[in-house]
Amino acid sequence: MLLRISALIDVVNERIGLTAYWLVLASVVVSSGNAVVRYALDTSSNAWLEIQWYLYAGFFLIGAGYTLLRNEHVRIDIIYSRLKPRTRAWIDVFGGIFFLLPMALMFLWLSWPVFVDSYNLHEYSSNPGGLLRWPVKLMMPVGFLLLALQGVSEIIKRAAFLMNLIPDPTPRHAHGDTAPAISEDMVMKPGNQP
């Protein structure tokens, strides 16, 4: 059952992460358009500058869970990559439980009231022509929720690997492979050897 929950979390973060790619393109288009308008027409808009900031915040925060799913987050690979798969799995479980989840849940807890206050106050940017602030502040708790969920998924997969229920999940979702991290055929039946 936990592996099914993990697979569901992976699918959610995969879809959201692929959607976040479009935020990168939108940010580039808005930024380029802003530069062209500013230099060609000698005019600018704070709203367009803030849209760039919102888009950047969106793909950075909303894409954090996807980055963890794809194993593209920052780590010290000089040491980690030389370790045995089981040792790496133990490090991932330990790091997920004692570092990733507490940090993500703490930031989720701290950012939620910031969003709620902004929403209740209908907070606008202090810049002339600025935008509502609550949409970008909503991205903080959503991003950390997605990261925490993906952390749970990764812990489940590493624990299942350590219990010889699935093969090593790490290489299956590193560096652009679009195959799901866990599928039904990967789950080993009782009595089967890995």
Least confident of 17-21, 91-95, 99-103, 184-188: 184-188
Length of the chain, please? 194
Which pLDDT does position 126 carry in this prediction? Answer: 86
The residues near 123 (Cβ < 8 Å, ≥ 6 apart) are 117, 132, 133, 134, 137
pTM reported for the whole predicted model: 0.82
pLDDT at residue number 44: 80
Q: Is the pLDDT of residue 80 over 90?
A: no
What's the pLDDT score for residue 96?
A: 95
User: What residues have CB less than 8 Å from 19, skipping those under 6 apart?
Assistant: 62
pLDDT digits (tens, 9 = 90+) for 81-139: 788 999 999 999 999 999 999 999 999 999 999 999 999 999 998 888 889 999 999 99
